Structure 1
Amino acid sequence: MPKKLKLEHSEFSGEFEDGGITVLVDIFRPAGTNNDWQMEVVTEQDDVTSWEEPFATDKDAWEEFLATCEKDGIRSFLEGEETQVH
C-alpha cells in the first residue's frame, strides 16, 4: 500500500465567504519541502477548481484567488464540475 504523502497547508488556507457563498481555499505543498504551492478551491457542493500551474509562494496563490474573485466573482467556482485553471 503506498504511503500517503503528508502535506503542509498554508496559513492562507481556510474558509472564505462572500455574498453568502462559502468556499474552502486549500493552498498546499509536500511537507518538509521547498516545492512550489498548489491551490484548490472547494465549494460546499464539492465542486473543485484546481490551478494547473503551481505558485512560487503561498501568498502568490492567495492573491490569485482574490484576483479571481474580484474579476469573475465567487460564483465562478460554482460550476458543478471539476475545473482546472491555467
Structure 2
Amino acid sequence: MQLDEKETRRSSLSQSFHRDGVTVQVEIYQLAWSDGWTLELVHADGGWTIWLTEFATDEAALAEFTAQIARPGLRNLIAGTLLYFPTIH
C-alpha cells in the first residue's frame, strides 16, 4: 500500500522478515487522522495482508505479528484463498 509520507508515520519497527523460505515486509504505520497503528505485510509476490484492527502502539502491532507467526506460521498466515485474495485480519 503506497501512502503519502505526509499522511503517515512509519514505525521504526517496520522491517523485512524471512522464515521458512517466505519473505514479507512488515509495515507498521500510523495514519495522520488516526490515533492507532496499522499492521500490514507486503508479500514478495505483490500480495498483502492487513489487519483491520488498529493497535494502541507500534510495539503492540509487532507483538501481534509475532504471535500470529508463532501459531500458524508465516506461510499459513499469508496464504490466500483458492482465488488468492489477500488475507485481512
- Same fold flag (TM > 0.5): yes
Q: What are the ranges of 5 or more consecutive residues in structure 2 without an aligned counterpart?
A: none
Residue 66 (structure 1) aligns with: 66
Bigger strand share:
1
Q: Which runs of 5+ in 1 are unaligned?
A: none
How many residues are treated as equivalent by the alignment?
A: 81
Distance in 2 between the 1:23 and 1:68 partners? Answer: 14
Q: Corresponding residue for 1:78? A: 79
- 4+ aligned runs moved over 4 Å, structure 1: none
Greater RCO between the two (CA within 8 Å, min separation 6)?
Answer: 1
Kept after mapping to 1: 8 A contact 2:79/2:87: no
Contact 1:40 1:48 in 2 (8 A): yes
Mapped to 1, the partners of 2:79 and 2:45 lie a distance apart of 8
CA offsets per residue over residues 8-49 of structure 1, 9 Å max, x none? Answer: 111110100111211011100125x77110111111111211
Q: TM-score, normalised by structure 1?
A: 0.83
Aligned-pair identity in percent equals 31
- Secondary structure of the corresponding residue to residue 9 of structure 2: strand
